[in-house]
Structure 1
């Protein structure tokens, strides 16, 4: 951490979107909420503010349901089984529900994602290379889904990663804790308070 260059560092915010977190969003309407997830924006914000002040990058990856004919979203079969409540307009590009929660805006770079990993069939790697980013501070949801998949894909691309252990969450405490333990074998870890203090 002592040689961390903030200008070459990005806070990668995975899927902290209105449709996931806001009571009026897709998951909120369906009663799919979690206090641990709801607490994330306030916890992550000091890290974002500290990194912005040091010239670093804020990158938001946003889960996306691409509208097809008639506006009906293209949904993978496994996701349709898990989340049958998803409907037309949810996670639609440009819509309010698709956006990064206001508490963490603005992001310097925004990447639409269609799968767990933010690197899968996206321009994320290209953007990070062009921006000169070498280190990713990773936060968001869910720990055992988008966060884990994205962090592992960053690792195989030789990007240095720091997982914010209390800056990500899952719908199960057990899943969160087990995933943090597993990821700590390939990534540095820090709490949000520790990371904000080090950046300051």
Structure 2
């Protein structure tokens, strides 16, 4: 195929465009030969270029909650999750704000009904959590943690584990401070946020979102299950390699990254920021329609 020849990947309802010169176009124009989408971000991924439309894209941040990250619960100060927070704060979130890409704050937030109907295998998985640095057994889902002393010496009620409206289920404070009113906030009740009637699908479709950029923890668990469910339901998916982490052995992260070749695209947070900066520089010259409007 000639480098400038465009190939259509997909059917009449949903498709990508591909050329050797420009890589994969995920902007979903009305037709393969329809008007060009000018509001575009070209992203350098690990194996190709991927072009997205920020108006049809959302950043999904999964489970970066106090329960998983807070030192007040014995989480280590050098945990992989905190390194992810740093990358999101430095690169990914500012880039999305520049480009007008909304953020989906997707997190555990259970009701008592959820607890009653929870499969035993999930309850067992949380009951065997050994990351708390204390002498008592870590509490399972829905168990009251009790008072927690924070770094500043103040005390808060930790609340019931990963239930709604509890301190432990809030997003980690440095991230939570970056949330904005127009963002999408979704509670999930399984590993995958695209399971169990969470409302995330309706929220995304109502905004015309076709492309999802995934981040969070744990890579091989809640992030991967959410991403693969989203792929199966028709969303285009990208994974921020340094925007997600896991406490599983290294091969678990490696496996998810390897499989992105079949699930979508893999890139770093800085790649997203660089792509947005490129769009910003080009904006004055290319973001006008034939009538001079933006």
Q: TM-score range by the shorter chain?
A: 0.7 to 0.9
Q: How does 1:32-71 map to 2 (within 5 A)?
A: 35-45=79-89, 46-67=91-112
1:34: how far off?
A: 6.8
Greater relative CO, 1 or 2 (CA 8 Å, sep 6+):
1
Give the superposed CA RMSD: 2.1
Q: Which runs of 5+ in 1 are unaligned?
A: none
What is the aligned counterpart of 1:146 among 203, 216, 222? 222
2:123 aligns to what? 80
For residues 276 and 111 of structure 2, what CA distance do their matches in structure 1 show? 37
1:7 to 55, 63, 75: 55
CA distance in 1, matches of 2:274, 2:257: 21
- Equivalence for 1:115: 190
Q: Choose which of 70, 90, 97 in structure 2 pairs with 1:22.
A: 70
TM-superposition CA deviations, 1:42-78 (whole Å, max 9, x none)? 111221111112111010111123236xxx9545422
Judging by fraction of residues, say which structure has more helix. 1
Q: Distance in 1 between matches of 2:275 and 2:237?
A: 15
Q: Scaled by the length of structure 1, what TM-score is found?
A: 0.87
SS in 2 for 1:62: strand
Matches within 5 A, 1:146-165: 146-165=222-241
CA deviation after TM superposition for structure 1 residue 102, in Å? 2.2
Would the alpha carbon gap of residues 111 and 33 (structure 1) be closer, same or farther in structure 2, given more than 3 Å must change?
farther
Pick the structure with greater CA Rg. 2
Residue 101 of structure 1 and its aligned partner are, at CA, apart by 1.7
Given candidates 208, 216, 233, the residue that maps to 1:132 is 208
State TM-score, norm by structure 2.
0.61
Unaligned stretches of 5+ residues in structure 2: 1-40, 43-50, 128-137, 145-159, 278-294
